Chain A
Amino acid sequence: MFLRQLGWEIRKLCARPRSYLGFAACLLFELALILLYRTTALAELVGDVYWRVPSAIATTTLSGLTVATHVTAETTSVIGALFLALVAGDMIANESEERTLHMIFSRPVTRGAVVLQKVIVCVLYTIVFCVFVGVTALGIALLVEGPGPVVVVSAKESLVGVHEFAPGLQRYALAVAMLGPCWVTFTLLGFFLSCCRMKPGAATVVATALLLTDHVLRIQPTFAGYLPYSLGTRILTWRQPFAYEISWLRIERNLSQLLLLDVVLILLAWWVFRRRELAP
């Protein structure tokens, strides 16, 4: 029964245009970014100032792999976050607003079972979405820029990594595999808000606003003390495989913290939702 209901949850997700609209939007965004970085002046500027790729090698080593890494990060942070919040924010709030939730709970099903099914759908969607972004970004970047070493530098994450194409590709695969699990926490934040008594649009807006606030606090030197508590810092753990020496300890610690947050958000969502009355 549970699996059958889960199957229908997935079917419902796939039948809604906004679920796959995010994939199309990401593809377009990636294509636009990669083509934009083809212009020499912008490539140097972005490589040097934004991506922190040393200027001496920026013009020669902005390879497909480097571009894919950065485009994946930007796409998930901008378009990805928006669509993950949209889908997660819709999960309960939209069904409540359209009253299909009343139809479900007029039947002998527990709220816990429905929450769990929707959580599983959120997690699956996030992982598929992130893998899609990583794979398509790599495909387009390799087609446009060609193979070459990968360069990833981030002072805030204490991350420096330059790898030849083959090992770089392995690191990229590992990073993309971690991308989904890292973003699941944000999706679950959207899901938790969806379980509260709010409109689906409001759940999406609040989730993205929280992520944006976290980002602003993280990048402002004034709030340097906030950095260890930032959600964004933990989400960016997926880039750690690009470090010269992969700090598994740091990855393990950050992923454990994200997992803990996931569990807390799921429990909160269930607690809030089971207390809710569904007024006719």
Chain B
Amino acid sequence: MIAIDGVSKIFGDRRALDAISFDVARGEILAILGHNGAGKTTLFALMLGLLRLSAGDIVVDSVSVRAQPREARRRIGSVVAPAFYEYLSGWDNLRILASYSAPVAHAELAAAARFVGLTDRLHDRVRVYSHGMRRRLALAQALVPRPAVLLLDEWETGLDPEGVRDMRALILRLNQEHGITIVLTSHQPAGLDGLCERIAIMRDGRLLFVGPWRDLDTGAPAVRLAVDDWMRARDAMRALGASIGANGVVTLPTGGAIADLVAALVGCGVRVESVEPVRANVEELYFRALQTPITDRRPT
């Protein structure tokens, strides 16, 4: 659905994006992670034609952003630094923004407002909206007319936990019920693992990683053990090169197998009561990836 091919953006003598390449499949949710200034929003701005490409191209639904920026934008709904006419109502804002895309029936606008749960306050001026309501309005405007691709920049920013939960549910519904391809950016990896299968990680304008979460987890395997005799168990584990951490967590050496550990323990006469694999959480994986030297990981 989206093909980003060797995209670079140079501001003066600063290279904001450096040869970024990856694809997003139709119907996929992909999260782009990275710190502030990593180039996530710049990439979105290039997709929307707000900035000019310095090199490379982006193809959205078979339409080149470089060759046909208007046609490409026709396929994209976006929430990138949303701003509204504060002195007008949410309804008027929806109508104004939709008028720049295509004639949209009032029923469709109302349906978008209903979808994001903004019906009750839709005719209030935006000036009195809370941050959460503005985010909902921003999402509603991105849905009219119905896009093939939805870009959500820092989708959780400024939302309280309840707002994040609701927005997350909306994103999943949009993807699952309407088949919209969604690319979102965040600098908070927590909670993203249930939202998307694949992620891209950017740092300083370069792509560090793109792929499924599990591909990030290349560290040494770890297990949480329960045994009857830790003294004997320790000797057996040391012999294998495993290290013992807090709460019974044992980290095996790289390439070590859990089965070998259990066999060694049983061989020493230790009764193994339980073995539970311990996976690094998404935050650990993200920070681990961020620390990886850029030359170590090439885009896949």
B-contacting residues of A (Cβ < 8 Å)? 1, 4-5, 8, 11-12, 15-17, 98-100, 102-110, 277-280
* Distance in Å: Cβ of B35 to nearest Cβ of chain A: 16
* Distance in Å: Cβ of A241 to nearest Cβ of chain B: 39
**B residues in contact with A100, CB < 8 Å:** 83-85
CB <8 Å contact, B97 and A108: no
User: What CA separation (Å) do A128 and B67 show in the bound complex?
Assistant: 41
A15/B97 contact (C-beta < 8 A), A102-B80, A108-B71, A280-B42 known: no
Contact with A along B80-91 (1 / 0, CB 8 A): 111111011000
* Distance in Å: Cβ of B103 to nearest Cβ of chain A: 7
**A residues in contact with B49, CB < 8 Å:** 105
B73 at the interface (CB under 8 A from A): yes
Contact of B81 among A99, A107, A109, A110 (CB under 8 A): A99
Q: A99-B83, A104-B100, A280-B51 are in contact. List 20 more A-B contacts (CB 8 A).
A: A11-B88, A11-B96, A12-B85, A15-B88, A17-B87, A99-B81, A100-B83, A102-B81, A103-B84, A103-B141, A106-B48, A106-B78, A106-B80, A108-B71, A108-B74, A109-B70, A110-B70, A277-B51, A280-B42, A280-B50
Sample (26) of A-B pairs whose CB atoms are under 8 Å apart: A1-B103, A4-B99, A5-B99, A8-B96, A12-B85, A12-B88, A15-B85, A15-B87, A16-B87, A17-B87, A99-B81, A103-B83, A106-B48, A106-B50, A106-B73, A106-B76, A106-B80, A108-B70, A109-B101, A110-B70, A279-B51, A280-B41, A280-B44, A280-B50, A280-B51, A280-B153
CB <8 Å contact, B99 and A1: yes
Contact with A along B8-44 (1 / 0, CB 8 A): 0000000000000000000000000000000001101
The count of chain B contact residues (Cβ–Cβ below 8 Å) is 34
Which chain B residue has the least Cβ–Cβ distance from A277?
B51
CB <8 Å contact, B45 and A107: no
User: What CA separation (Å) do A279 and B153 show in the bound complex?
Assistant: 14
B92 at the interface (CB under 8 A from A): yes
B168 at the interface (CB under 8 A from A): no
Which chain B residue has the least Cβ–Cβ distance from A113?
B100
